[in-house]
């Protein structure tokens, strides 16, 4: 190969023990490029950062740009000091052809000679720059307005990769492939310890909850976590709310008695009767205030005053009046609830969990729980040391978690 196009990049930090440097080498070669190591300094102690300067080579400019884009996702910065480049958005909800698509990692852009952090951190969105006020913010494509200055290319962009934690917690020592054979009790107790630490420092905990929590009989455990202050934000869909109300009003979920596990006569209508009861009341909050809804996850969420976002789907029965049926408005409500969240528990709901994960910075610690290993793998593999997966059912996980947190259960539940 006779490379005609080159660019110098540099990597800083714990790039060796976090495997960032070898990933950079692999990326360059896998994409048909070549490289020279111009300079390298290896930290002598665990706390010491390392530094590497590489000359990246490619046969054509397009390949070089593609390689540089991937290297930036690993935290590489161009050596040549340039301001970020922007182009005006051609119309509302559309971006320039060469727009920069963000990662979920902390990012900075160079504006008028100084590095400016980009907020909020979110993957697969655009960066809009205000040159006059020297600020940069992420925006979903749909929210970009005509004429706004959208970042293009790679120049003047710096991504800060996450480094492997040196603390022996669940997010550092359970990073192997997802497996149902991992020591669940140990992991859950470590998650409980992390939850306590988040609350002690004033952080928020988000739970993304699926209807299997109710079907499996785990609703009382989640309700207890909410009642005891371990949940600040609750995301879900129409289904978990409907079946939680069904359980509260009729003692069933999908018509199955939650105490005996036996289908009850006429139980197939219970979820529709539950929806009707809430719609007649006007809302979940109104049902609580009127004494119609007196227990369960939704009851505790409303009584505790936590942030509740129920995002609907095309298959919903009803839906409940609290469910946001416009997906764009649901996304906005979810984004608005994320500031301050430090830990997320994603329990038995793949689609809502994926949607949430796409909005989260990589710095937010994430626990994915599902009985299906494929789902856990999809949710936990966020390119981060901050995600852990647990293959188990919702009831076992939440029961053990409430025990680890010494949460008292309400006998009425």
State pLDDT tens for residues 1-33: 454 788 899 999 888 888 899 999 999 999 999
Distance CA 246, CA 262 (A): 15
| C-alpha Rg value of the chain to the nearest Å | 24
Distance CA 352, CA 341 (A): 16
b/e string for 163-174 if b means 16 or more Cβ within 10 A?
beeeeeebbeeb
pTM of the model: 0.85
Q: Specify the 3-state DSSP secondary structure of 85.
A: strand
Per-residue pLDDT at 169: 58
Per-residue pLDDT at 44: 83
CB 293 within 8 A of CB 245: yes
The CB density around residue 219, as the number of other CB atoms within 10 Å, is 29
Q: Specify the 3-state DSSP secondary structure of 282.
A: coil
Q: Which CATH architecture has domain 81-162?
A: Beta Barrel (2.40)
Per-residue pLDDT at 388: 86
Residues near 395 by beta carbon (within 8 Å), at least 6 away in sequence: 213, 216, 217, 218, 221
**Pairing verdict, β 157-159 and 85-88:** unpaired
Distance CA 172, CA 264 (A): 46
Segments making up each domain of the chain, as ranges: 1-80, 81-162, 170-404
Fold classification of 1-80 (topology level): Alpha-Beta Plaits (3.30.70)
Kindly report the backbone phi and psi dihedral angles of residue 167, in degrees, each rounded to the nearest multiple of 5, phi listed first.
Answer: -95, 140
Per-residue pLDDT at 18: 83
Distance CA 302, CA 286 (A): 10
Among the listed residues 120, 345, 325, the one whose alpha carbon sits nearest the alpha carbon of residue 222: 345
**Pairing verdict, β 233-236 and 204-209:** parallel
Per-residue pLDDT at 173: 44
Q: Which CATH architecture has domain 170-404?
A: 3-Layer(aba) Sandwich (3.40)
Per-residue pLDDT at 359: 94
Distance CA 270, CA 286 (A): 20
Residue 348: C-alpha distances to residues 230, 294, 367, 379 (Å): 18, 25, 11, 11
CB 96 within 8 A of CB 152: yes
Enumerate residue ranges in the chain where pLDDT < 50: 1, 3, 173-174, 176-177, 412-413
Residue 409: C-alpha distances to residues 228, 244, 260, 402 (Å): 10, 17, 20, 8
Distance CA 231, CA 343 (A): 10
Task: Answer yes or no: same fold for 1-80 and 81-162.
Answer: no
């Amino acid at each position: 190969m006779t490379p005609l196009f080159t660019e110098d990049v540099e990597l800083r930090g714990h790039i060796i023990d976090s495997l960032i440097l070898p990933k950079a080498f692999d990326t360059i070669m896998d994409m048909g490029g070549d490289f020279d190591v111009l300079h390298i300094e290896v930290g002598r102690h665990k706390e010491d950062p390392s530094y590497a300067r590489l000359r990246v080579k490619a046969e054509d400019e397009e390949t070089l740009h593609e390689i540089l884009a991937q290297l930036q996702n690993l935290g590489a910065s161009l050596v040549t000091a340039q301001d970020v480049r922007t182009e005006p958005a051609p119309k509302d909800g559309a971006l320039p052809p060469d727009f920069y698509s963000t990662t979920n990692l902390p990012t900075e852009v160079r504006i008028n000679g100084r590095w400016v952090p980009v907020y909020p951190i979110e993957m697969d969105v655009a960066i809009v720059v205000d040159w006059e006020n020297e600020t940069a913010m992420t925006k979903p494509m749909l929210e970009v307005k005509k004429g706004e200055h959208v970042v293009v290319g790679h120049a003047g962009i710096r991504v800060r990769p996450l480094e492997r934690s040196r603390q022996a917690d669940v997010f550092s020592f359970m990073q192997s492939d997802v497996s149902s054979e991992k020591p669940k009790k140990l992991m859950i107790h470590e998650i409980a310890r992390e939850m306590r630490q988040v609350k002690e420092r004033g952080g928020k905990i988000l739970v993304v909850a699926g209807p299997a929590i109710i079907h499996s009989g785990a609703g009382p455990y989640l309700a207890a976590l909410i009642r005891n202050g371990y949940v600040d934000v609750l995301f879900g869909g129409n289904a978990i709310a409907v079946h939680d109300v069904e359980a509260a009003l009729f003692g069933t979920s999908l018509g199955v008695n939650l105490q005996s596990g036996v289908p009850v006569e006429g139980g197939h209508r219970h979820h529709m009767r539950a929806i009707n009861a809430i719609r007649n009341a006007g809302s979940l909050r109104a049902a609580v205030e009127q004494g119609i809804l007196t227990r369960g996850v939704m009851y505790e969420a409303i009584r505790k005053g936590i942030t509740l976002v129920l995002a609907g789907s095309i298959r919903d029965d009803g839906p409940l009046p609290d469910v946001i049926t416009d997906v764009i408005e649901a996304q906005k409500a979810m984004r608005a609830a994320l500031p301050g969240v430090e830990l997320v528990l994603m329990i038995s709901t793949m689609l809502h969990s994926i949607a949430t994960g796409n909005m989260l910075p990589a710095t937010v610690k994430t626990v994915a729980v599902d009985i299906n290993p494929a789902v856990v793998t999809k949710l936990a593999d966020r390119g981060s040391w901050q995600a852990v997966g647990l293959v188990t059912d919702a009831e076992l996980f939440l029961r053990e978690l409430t025990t680890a947190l010494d949460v008292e259960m309400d006998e009425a539940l």
